[in-house]
Structures are given as structure tokens and as C-alpha cells.
Amino acid sequence: MPSPEFLLGIVNALGVFALITLGYSYLLRYTQPGVVRSVAIGLMFGVGACLAIANTTEFIPGLFIDPRAVMLVLAAPFGGLLSAVIAAAIACAARLHEGGVGGPAGAGNIVATALIGVLFARYVIGDARSISIGKLFAMGLASNIPLLFILTVPVPNAAEHFMRAVGPLTVADTLGVLVLGRVLSDAWRAHQSAERLSVEATTDPLTGLSNRRHFERRVGPLLQQANHQGTPVSLLVIDVDHFKRINDSFGHEAGDTVLVWIAEIVRSQVRGCDIIARYGGEELVVAMPGADSRRAMTVAERIRAVIEAKGRIEPGDGHRITVSIGVSTRLARYADLFSAADEALYAAKRQGRNRVVTEPVAVAQAA
């Protein structure tokens, strides 16, 4: 029969775990996937395991039991390998600091539990963090296998102590993994849904570029900063020549393929700081912060030349894919910048298409 102190320790630990896992949703929301997020999640799970150890029950002098396994086994599935290593390292340090004859066995238990989480993440769960109840239950049960380390503690009647501890801890750990794992899984699903809605609201579904609304929202602050610093901003307006003819001759699916291909060409020819968007129909725009007229013209001509050289609907087909590009460089409101580039684009169309034309207005000097 588990002691009242043990049961109270379980309740306290699970309450702390529930509060800590609330931080998981914040980490998903405010950090990008990568090392920083993995480290933060590892620290979070490691602190949770330490709090479990702090609320431990001393079964016999030097032998402590607690539900640390809940946090350790969940670290890898919800944070990755790096998170599991960090959590295990923190928990090991805390357990060894507690001391006692069971210190080395406790450290071994921690490493083995984290390893079970890694194996589940790699071979059972995979990349998806939306985990079924059945898999959580299996992982909860498996997290108790390292309790066998109790048998290595150099105390009399180690097997008897193991039998006394295994029942209550198995129930507590399995229940903890089920409850907290479900909370984390729900947080992950909510984050994925929010990310998907955000992408749908800001991205053109065909090309994967920003849509017009998102582009204009991003360019506004960029122009304000450029006006404040006195640096130029160039805008390219790119239009596919005879796009209606492509749709009529080869079908709308071919037209979509052309747009996707041109979007990839534009991506490959501009800088990472440049903002690209599908503005509507067959028209793309590129905002180039800090680029003067000469650089903008060079980039625009390179885009035009690559598309002309490689653009074919079908091998051996005589129809070339070409674009006309209008370029504007100035310190001005976005409406004026776009209007000038759009006028330059129509000038390129009037002059025969498949060319780059820049607006004649010089870059204004900062006051």
C-alpha cells in the first residue's frame, strides 16, 4: 500500500507537470523549429523531471522513487533527440546531487527512460506529434521498464523493494504519460492548425509565394524604414507575355505549371531579403530593399533572360515563354512606387514585350 507521502508527491508532481507543459504551446508559437526550440523544450522537460525529484519519496534510506519518468519519456517525442539529451542530463545531475546509495541506479534509470522515449519517437511515433492514446499507453508502460535498476541498488531485500515500488509507479507513470501526452498532443495539433490558417491567409496556394495582401502589409514598414534611412527600394512588376494564349492553346493546367516554374526562377535569382508575391493572375512583384536602379535592372534582366532561354511549354514546341518587367526605384509611398513600376511594365508591353523597362524618375534624396 503506497504511503500518503508518496501519493501526495505524485499529485504535486503531476500538478507541476501540467503547469510546465502549458509552456509547450508558447514555445511552439514563439520559437521557430530548430536548435533553439529543441533546447528550450529540453530545459522545460528537464526542469519538470527535477521538480519530480524534488517531490520524491524516500522508500528506504538512499532509495528515492518519483514520477520523473513522465517528463523524461515525453521529451523525445515532443522535442526531439536534443531535447531528450538535455532533459536527461539535467535530471541526472539533480538525482546525483540528491546522493544516496541509489544515486547511480537512479541516473541509469533516467538515461534508460529517456532512451525509451527516443526509441518510441523514432520507431513507433515518427514525425507526427499527434499521438494516439494507444501509443501513449504503450509508452507509459514502457517507461517503467527502467525501474529494474532498483534491483542494482546495494541494499538488503532489493527485490522486495522493487515489488513494492513497481505497482504504484507503473500506475502513476502510465497515467501521467497518458494525461500529459494528450495535453502536449492537443497543443501540437492546435499549433499546426494555427500555422495552416496563417499560411492560407498569407500565401498564394499555387506558387507558394506571398499573396497581394501579405505583400503590401510587409512592404509598408519596409518603405517607412527606407525613407527614414534614406536608402532606396526597388520594385519589379513581372508579367507573363501572352499568358491567355498559353491557357487557350495548352489548357489552364499548363498555364498553372508555367506560373509555378516562373515563380521558382524568380526565387532563384533574388536575394533572401527580397519580398516576392503573386500579385494577381499572371503578375508577380518583387520588392528589393536597398537595391538601386542599376542593381534592380540587372536582376530583372537576369530573370528575363533565364526565362527566355529555358521557357518551353513542350520540347520542340515553337512557343516561347517570355516575360515583360517594369522596374521602379524611389523613396515614396507604396502606391507611387507600384504605379511607376506598372507604367514601366506597360511601356515594355508597348515596345514589343520580352524586355525590361525602368521608370525614368530618379531616386529622391532623403531630406
pLDDT at 367: 32
3-state secondary structure of 57: strand
pLDDT at 83: 96
96-100, 107-111, 245-249, 268-272 — which one is most confidently predicted on average?
268-272
276 within 8 A of 247, measured Cβ to Cβ? no
Domain ranges within the chain, ordered by starting residue: 4-202, 212-358
pLDDT at 328: 94
Confidence of residue 23 (pLDDT cuts 50, 70, 90): confident
- Residue closest to 213 by CA, chosen among 225, 201, 221, 198: 201
pLDDT at 132: 86
Is domain 4-202 classified as CATH 1.10.1760?
Answer: yes
CB-based contacts of 278-281 (< 8 A; 24+ apart in sequence): 278/204, 278/206, 278/207, 278/209, 278/210, 278/211, 278/212, 279/212, 279/215, 279/237, 280/212, 281/243
- pTM value is 0.66
> Mean of the per-residue pLDDT values for the chain?
84
CA dihedral defined by 203, 208, 211, 216, rounded to 10 degrees?
A: 100
Backbone angles phi and psi of 141, in degrees to 5? -65, -45
* Superfamily the domain 212-358 falls into: Reverse transcriptase/Diguanylate cyclase domain (3.30.70.270)
